[in-house]
């Protein structure tokens, strides 16, 4: 049966945010779109790409609302495309995970992340799947904002493409095999 999926990469628009740790959601979606010959077009609340994956319909969304208003874009596209909550995947940077770690969770707290916080407030529930991309926490006290809005180290840039590629495989698995199976298959990698 054909299903609708909404895959959301969180980030901030603007050249000053490109390829920063906080924009890893955008970078993952850009790579996934490129691998699947999908082009983004600017539409309401964000850049949208659409594709089929073995009969499933995927809408890829990079919100243009800035991080702390991401929920507005998610809700709009969920309603427009009639995507059930269980078919929404949010790709987000995570300070609590070591660099390059990828963890899928079917629900959870916002853990202080403004994008997740707004999504949770807007949808009225924390029960949406998220793919957490570890960015590490190698910053001095009080320097968290500078850290998440800065670029990757040269060492991280060497392994980043492989981790982004793995995130793409996780997106595919989520759409074809579901959250639980994807967690079982990928959360240990």
Cross-strand pairs, 132: 92, 103
Instruction: Determine whether 118 is an active site residue.
Output: no
Q: Where are the alpha helices (DSSP H) in the chain?
A: 24-35, 70-81, 114-123, 144-148, 154-177, 179-186
Nearest to 21 by CA among 118, 162, 139: 139
> Is 127 within 8 Å of 85 (Cβ atoms)?
yes
Nearest to 91 by CA among 11, 31, 155: 11
Alpha-carbon distance of 88 to 147, in angstroms, equals 28
The DSSP code for 85 is G
Alpha-carbon distance of 85 to 87, in angstroms, equals 5
The DSSP code for 46 is E
Question: Which of 19, 22, 113, 118 is the catalytic position?
Answer: 22
In the three-class reduction of DSSP (H, G, I as helix; E, B as strand; rest coil), residue 105 is classed as strand
- Active site (catalytic) residues: 22
């Amino acid at each position: 049966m054909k299903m609708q999926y909404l895959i959301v990469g969180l980030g901030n628009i603007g050249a000053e945010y490109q390829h920063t740790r906080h924009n890893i959601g955008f970078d993952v979606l850009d790579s996934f779109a490129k691998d699947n010959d999908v082009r983004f077009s600017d539409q309401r609340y964000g850049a949208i790409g659409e594709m089929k994956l073995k009969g499933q319909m995927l809408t890829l969304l990079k919100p243009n609302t800035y991080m702390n208003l991401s929920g507005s874009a998610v809700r709009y596209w969920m309603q427009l495309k009639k995507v059930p909550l269980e078919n929404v995947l949010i790709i987000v940077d995570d300070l609590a995970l070591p660099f390059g770690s990828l963890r899928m969770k079917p629900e959870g707290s916002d853990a202080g992340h403004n994008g997740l916080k707004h999504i949770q407030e807007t949808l009225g529930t924390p029960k949406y799947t998220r793919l957490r991309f570890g960015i590490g926490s190698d910053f001095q006290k009080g320097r968290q904002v500078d850290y998440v809005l800065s670029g990757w180290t040269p060492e991280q840039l060497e392994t980043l493409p492989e981790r982004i590629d793995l995130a793409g495989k996780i997106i595919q698995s989520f759409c074809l095999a579901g959250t639980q199976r994807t967690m079982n298959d990928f959360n240990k990698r």
